Structure 1
Amino acid sequence: MAHVYVSDVIDAPAEKVWAFTRDYNGHGDWHPIIEKSEIEEGRPSDQVGCVRAFTVSDGGFLRERLIAFSDTDRTFTYTILESPMPIENYVATWRVTPITEGDRSFVEWWADFDVSPEDEADIRERVGRNTFAAGIRAIADRVG
């Protein structure tokens, strides 16, 4: 099983960062590679079980199900249902933690998934740098 983990500090309070990112479908508004995203069946985007369907800038289409959500812990977890990437059993978590000194936020985004050895380096780059790190920097630019 592969593991990708990215963390960073955002110069904004955790409450502000969480308020901006808690919308499971909000990535279409801030992530640089998301072209269009919608929640299927009109369900609320913070309801466990909802599915977001979206396209990315390279034309890929993905569907992801929200499997855990907590305003108290400022975290959500999701799994990929459909993806053009050669992966299986993908589960990812987003978490925002307050940094009390300086009123900043420590953000983490990680995923575990199965991938063949020949695809692992490419998928780690796509998930880690192109998705997670790029997304965190885009959030920092918007809320910081």
Structure 2
Amino acid sequence: MVKVVRSTVLKAPVDAVWEILRDFNGHDRWHPAVTTSQMERGESSDRVGAVRRFRLQDGSELREQLLTLSDLEQAFSYCLLDTPVPLFNYVAHVRLFPVTDGDWTVWEWESRFDTPAGRDKELASLVGDDIYVAGFKAIAEHMGVEA
């Protein structure tokens, strides 16, 4: 099993970052890889169990399910249901932590998944750098803050 962990510090208040990330269907407004996203069956984007279907820049389509959402902990978890990328048993966790000295935010994004034999490093880099790190940079740009 592969474990990927990336984190960053955003020079923005944790509540402001959470307001954006909490919307499980909002990543098409800030992540550069996502072109469109919609909730299946008209579900609310904050209902545990809801599924989002989204399309990437390359035209591929993915489905992810919201597993947990905690406003108190400013965290959520989700899993991949359908993806053209061979990431099996993929479960990810997003957590925000306040940095009280400066009113900033620590954002941690981590996942665990299985891959076909010999592809663990390649796919860990794809997830960690092309998805997570790109997302950190995109949120900072979207909010007009430094990361």
Please give the TM-score of this superposition, normalised by the length of structure 2. Answer: 0.95
Partner of 2:25: 25
Letter in 1 for 2:2: A
Query: After superposition, where does 1:115-130 map in structure 2 within 5 Å?
Result: 115-130=115-130
Q: CA deviation at 1:140?
A: 1.2
3-state DSSP of counterpart to 1:117: coil
SS at match of 1:49: coil
Q: Deviations over 1:46-97 (max 9, x none)?
A: 0000000011112221100000000110000000000001121100011111
* Contact 1:5-1:110 within 8 A present in 2 as well: yes
- Supply the distance in 1 between the matched residues of 2:5 and 2:121 (Cα, whole angstroms): 14
CA distance in 2, matches of 1:24, 1:108: 16
Partner-residue secondary structure (3-state), 2:64:
strand
Give me the identity figure in percent: 41
Residues 83-122 of structure 1 aligned to structure 2 (within 5 Å): 83-122=83-122
Q: Which amino acid aligns with 1:60?
A: S
Distance 1:118 1:58 in 2: 24
Paired with 2:141 and 2:125, the residues of 1 have a C-alpha distance of: 22
Partner Cα separation in structure 2 for residue 87 and residue 29 of structure 1: 24
Q: TM-score, normalised by structure 1?
A: 0.97
Give the aligned residue type for 1:5: V
The code of the aligned residue for 1:17 comes to V
C-alpha deviation, 1:136, in angstroms:
1.0
Structure 2: gaps (5+ residues): none
Tell me if 1:7 matches 2:7. yes
Q: Following the alignment from structure 1 to structure 2, what is the Cα–Cα distance between the partners of residues 5 and 99? A: 19
Whether contact under 8 Å (1:69, 1:75) holds in the other structure is yes
- Whole-Å Cα distance in 1 between the matches of residues 3 and 117 of structure 2? 13
Query: Stretches of 4+ moved more than 4 A in 1?
Result: none
After TM superposition, the structure 1 stretch with the greater mean CA deviation from structure 2, 59-68 or 116-125, is 116-125
